[in-house]
Amino acid sequence: MQKLEVFGAKKLKGQINISGSKNASLPILASTLLSNKKIYLKNIPKVNDIETMINLLKSLGSKVKFEKKDLVINNSGQDKKFAAYKLVKTMRAGILVLGPLLAKFGNAKVSLPGGCAIGSRPIDLHLQALSKLGVEYKIYQGYVHAFAPKGLKGSNIHFSKISVGATENLIIAACLAKGITKLSNCAIEPEIKDLTNFLVKLGCNIKWVGKRSIKIIGVNQIKQTTYSVMFDRIEAGTYLIAAAITEGNLIIKKIIPDVIKTEINILKKIGVKILAKKREIKVIGGKKIKNLNIKTAPYPGFPTDLQAQIMVLLCKASKESFIQEDIFENRFMHVAELNRMGAQISIKGNKVLIKGNIKFASAELMATDLRASVSLILAALTAKGKTIINRIYHLDRGYEELEKKLKKVGAKIRRIK
The DSSP secondary structure of 89-120, one letter per residue, reads TT-GGGGGGHHHHHHHHSEEEEEPP---SSS-
Query: pLDDT class for 119, splitting at 50, 70, 90?
Result: very low
Dist CA 380 CA 316 (whole Å):
13
**Domain end position, chosen among 206, 228, 250:** 228
Catalytic residue among 116, 175, 204, 315: 116
Query: pLDDT class for 117, splitting at 50, 70, 90?
Result: very low
Sign of CA dihedral 97, 102, 108, 110: positive
Q: Which amino acid, residue 148?
A: A
Are 256 and 163 members of one domain? no
**Each residue of 239-291: pLDDT tens digit?**
999 999 999 999 999 999 999 999 999 999 999 999 999 999 999 998 899 99
Are 46 and 83 members of one domain? yes
**In the chain, what percentage of residues exceed pLDDT 70?**
98
pLDDT of residue 1 exceeding 90, the answer is no
CB contact at 8 A, 96 and 32: no
Task: Give the per-residue pLDDT at 44.
Answer: 97
Are 191 and 291 members of one domain? no
Are 353 and 402 members of one domain? yes
pLDDT of residue 116 exceeding 70, the answer is no
Are 254 and 222 members of one domain? no
Are 208 and 237 members of one domain? no
Residues 28, 34, 38, 41: what is their CA dihedral angle, to the nearest 10 degrees?
Answer: 0
CATH of the domain at 251: 3.65.10.10
Task: Give the per-residue pLDDT at 312.
Answer: 97
Mean pLDDT to the nearest integer, 30-55: 96
CA angle centred on 50, ends 49 and 51, rounded to 5°? 90
* SS3 state at 88: helix
pLDDT of residue 26 exceeding 60, the answer is yes
Task: Give the per-residue pLDDT at 62.
Answer: 97
Are 314 and 392 members of one domain? yes
Query: pLDDT class for 114, splitting at 50, 70, 90?
Result: low
- R_g (Cα) of the chain, nearest Å: 22
Are 268 and 375 members of one domain? yes
Are 152 and 200 members of one domain? yes
**Domain end position, chosen among 203, 228, 253:** 228
Active site residue 204: no
Are 12 and 39 members of one domain? no
Are 206 and 319 members of one domain? no
User: In Å, how far are 36, 51, 210 from 80, measured between CA atoms?
Assistant: 13, 19, 36
User: In Å, how far are 33, 55, 124, 220, 246 from 104, measured between CA atoms?
Assistant: 8, 20, 22, 10, 50
List phi, psi (to 5°) of 217.
Answer: -105, 120
Mean pLDDT score across all residues of the chain? 94
Whole-model pTM: value is 0.95
Task: Give the per-residue pLDDT at 273.
Answer: 97
User: In Å, how far are 190, 194, 283, 333 from 231, measured between CA atoms?
Assistant: 10, 10, 18, 27
Are 180 and 254 members of one domain? no
CB contact at 8 A, 356 and 321: yes
Sign of CA dihedral 321, 325, 330, 334: negative
pLDDT of residue 118 exceeding 60, the answer is no
**Number of domains observed in the structure of the chain:** 2
Sign of CA dihedral 405, 408, 411, 417: positive
Question: Kind and range of the H or E element at 5?
Answer: strand 3-7
Between 350 and 117, residue with greater pLDDT: 350
List phi, psi (to 5°) of 354.
Answer: -115, 115
Mean pLDDT to the nearest integer, 131-142: 94
Mean pLDDT to the nearest integer, 2-27: 96
- Parent domain of 343: 3-18+232-416
**Each residue of 326-358: pLDDT tens digit?**
987 778 989 999 999 999 999 999 999 999 999
**Domain end position, chosen among 228, 263, 294:** 228
Least confident stretch, 82-96, 177-191, 220-234, 351-365: 82-96
